[in-house]
Structure 1
Amino acid sequence: MEPREHHVGFLVFDGMKMLDLSGPAEVFSEAGRFGARYRLSIVSAGAKPVCSSIGLRVPVDADAGDAPAFDTLLVVGGDRLPASPVDPALAAAARNLASRAGRVASICTGAFVLAAAGLLDGRRATTHWQHTALLARVCPTARVEPDAIFVRDGTTYTSAGVTAGIDLALALVEADHGPDLTRGVARSLVVYMQRSGGQSQFSASLQGPAPQTPVLRLVQDAVQADPTADHSLGALAARVRVSPRHLTRMFRDELDTTPMKYVELIRFDRAKALLDAGHNATEAAALSGFPSYESLRRAFARHLGLSPTRYRQRFTTTGAGSRTSPRGA
């Protein structure tokens, strides 16, 4: 029996990320080649065409207020969303469309639109790793998961950075049509059905604000200047002339971590930079202050869920010079 048509609506606005729209749309369209029936519509507040992040104009099919009830509503993201308040008309459009949709999803910073519409209250959610802390502040009742590629909470889905919209769309197709059809879509598009690791593998570990307390800034400067030096708790406390207990309390109160965890993050970021620059894992461990390759491997397992060697293979080249054809998922 032919599958029922599934209507997917994309809510767009000026400044939207083009890949937030085109990536998931390609997944749903490609699914049609394998027997799925998705119909795609693009709507905006006021039915106005919008200008994307790359300057291309995107026509729309309808005013969000006049759109039919969608089986799936997808709210795209845009660079201005984290920095600026969400347009009330955009938030109202999302709220109205969501009230009639079978399920609701956001791509990247589109989560801020859902938050402004009250659609993330009390729910688990995620967004791009650079903005998860801000999302937690603007929507304090949401349980923000900073390392997730995408999060499902009931019929509400949120996803991480732009390409995570493809991961999310594949998950939605799998929910509708099962893994066999979805595997065919992933192979055709040469993407993974489920990538390994979370979004921390793409992020810098120390993206938070710099320490404000002079003592903590001295510690940070000392570790960054020479990560291979003795940075034990006792050595750090002696360097800044406070007791180990007092230094630990300062780190906990201002940075919500311990001195040793902070030192590890600085060394970890240095090791990632060394691997990116072409050093092997043993060299990266020695030059970043880890006592052995094994200690570096454990740090990578804790923070990224993969080994230093796997990280280097994944992120130091696109494989453009390889003669091996990609096999997909």
Structure 2
Amino acid sequence: MPSFYAKTDERIRTVAIVLFDRTKLIDVTGPLQVFNDARAPSGSPAYSISLLSETGGPVVTDTGVALETLPFSHAASSPPDTLLVSGGQSALQAATSEALLGFLADMAGRCRRLGSICLGAFILARGGHLDGRRATTHWEDCAQFREAFPAIDVREDSIFEEDGGIWTSAGVTAGIDMALAMVERDLGRSEALRLARSLVLYVKRTGGQRQFSAALDQQMRSSTSRFDILLTAIRADLAADLSVPRLAQLAHMSERNFSRLFTETMGASPAQFIEELRVDAACDALQRGDVSVASAPFLFGFGNPERMRRAFQRRRGVSPSDYEARFGPRLSKAP
């Protein structure tokens, strides 16, 4: 029997997800899939999951797909171990529901873990559950969230936050990351990593990292697609010669004109942009365990370990080895 589960815990933990009209489908089904696929040491299901709504019955999600639910009263006599509130734009309206807020107030002191997915954080905030705590939500709505609830420490760069047993996740698929973190807390890192691989996730992101990559961030800031083809070529081989002369040649521009237009368009000089992409890619690879700290400088175009160390210090505030120690796929070992 695997040794990474504490004392071969075979308890079936209960998880309930709260739905409301037009909730975002993936905010429900993402975490639902994670908890459904999690396994105890014997291979049996580790969680029992239920979907709840005020009156029960089918709830139509934002996609038009209806999900069958049980009424809030179902949880009254036996509160779930983990209670999550789903998200979507309709969460802002749901946050005014007295029945929903009353249900959460009753459950808050009776559940071990309370959380929200995406804009579900507005519902927890409206009920006062996040006051004085760190929390996050979809990056597009963080400014509104902070303005509406000044007592909350809003972390707009986080994938998820946990503060005193209250969990919040960022936009959409970040709910999957949060669910994986909960599984890791309950069943160990190896089971969380098994799930991540089983679900074919590109990377198991960790709380405290930005909600989207440097490349996407920069492209979103750009008002033109002028350099989209060049960016695709850059990301295809970060170990290649990505000097200004070479990039200008690929862009069919003079070096001076290329440097000026690239900086104006992307909000960063070519050197700054390339360094951020290389650090981003190295971080992802170190998280997955695909590369070692020793090989990463050469695989991602830093040239030597010292240059990579300086780049990590500038961009992440830690050394590559410290980053790997914190976020790498360390498998739990038998005591």
Q: Same fold (TM over 0.5)?
A: yes
1:273: Cα distance to partner? 4.8
Separation in 1, partners of 2:31, 2:184: 13
**1:148 equivalent among 158, 180, 183:** 158
**2:213 equivalent among 201, 215, 218:** 201
- 1:260-305 deviation digits (Å, cap 9, x = unpaired): xxxxx8x98239955544445535873322685213335x47xx96
Separation in 1, partners of 2:143, 2:214: 16
State yes or no: 1:297 paired with 2:274: yes
CA contact (8 A) 1:10 1:75 kept: yes
- 1:88-120 deviation digits (Å, cap 9, x = unpaired): 222222222222110111000000110111111
State yes or no: 1:21 paired with 2:28: yes
Separation in 1, partners of 2:128, 2:65: 30
Separation in 2, partners of 1:168, 1:157: 8
CA contact (8 A) 1:108 1:162 kept: yes
For the residue of structure 2 that corresponds to 1:175, the secondary structure is: helix
Structure 1 residues 1-329: aligned runs within 5 Å: 1=8, 3-32=10-39, 34-64=43-73, 66-67=75-76, 68-82=78-92, 86-191=96-201, 192-194=203-205, 197-201=209-213, 269-270=221-222, 273-279=225-231, 280-281=233-234, 282=247, 286=259, 287-289=261-263, 292-297=269-274, 300=276, 306=280
CA contact (8 A) 2:118 2:169 kept: yes
1:181: Cα distance to partner? 1.3
Paired residue for 2:322? none
For the residue of structure 2 that corresponds to 1:60, the secondary structure is: strand
CA contact (8 A) 2:131 2:152 kept: yes
CA contact (8 A) 1:3 1:36 kept: no
Separation in 2, partners of 1:90, 1:81: 11
Separation in 2, partners of 1:202, 1:161: 17
Separation in 2, partners of 1:42, 1:60: 5
Please, what TM-score do these two structures have when normalized by structure 2? 0.65
Structure 1: which amino acid aligns with 2:47?
Answer: Y
Separation in 1, partners of 2:210, 2:24: 21
Structure 1: which amino acid aligns with 2:52?
Answer: V
CA contact (8 A) 1:94 1:113 kept: no
Segments of 5+ residues of structure 2 without an aligned counterpart are 1-7, 235-246, 252-257, 285-328, 330-335
Q: Percent identity?
A: 34
Evaluate the alpha carbon distance shift between residue 292 and residue 198 of structure 1 in structure 2; reply closer, same or farther with a 3 A threshold.
closer
Separation in 2, partners of 1:276, 1:165: 29
RMSD of aligned residue pairs (Cα, Å): 3.2
Please, what TM-score do these two structures have when normalized by structure 1? 0.66
Separation in 2, partners of 1:268, 1:92: 40
Separation in 2, partners of 1:288, 1:125: 35
CA contact (8 A) 2:23 2:91 kept: no
How many pairs align? 247
For the residue of structure 2 that corresponds to 1:58, the secondary structure is: strand
Separation in 1, partners of 2:157, 2:118: 13
Separation in 2, partners of 1:64, 1:275: 55
Structure 1: which amino acid aligns with 2:69?
Answer: V
1:184: Cα distance to partner? 1.1
Structure 1: which amino acid aligns with 2:183?
Answer: V
Evaluate the alpha carbon distance shift between residue 95 and residue 80 of structure 1 in structure 2; reply closer, same or farther with a 3 A threshold.
same
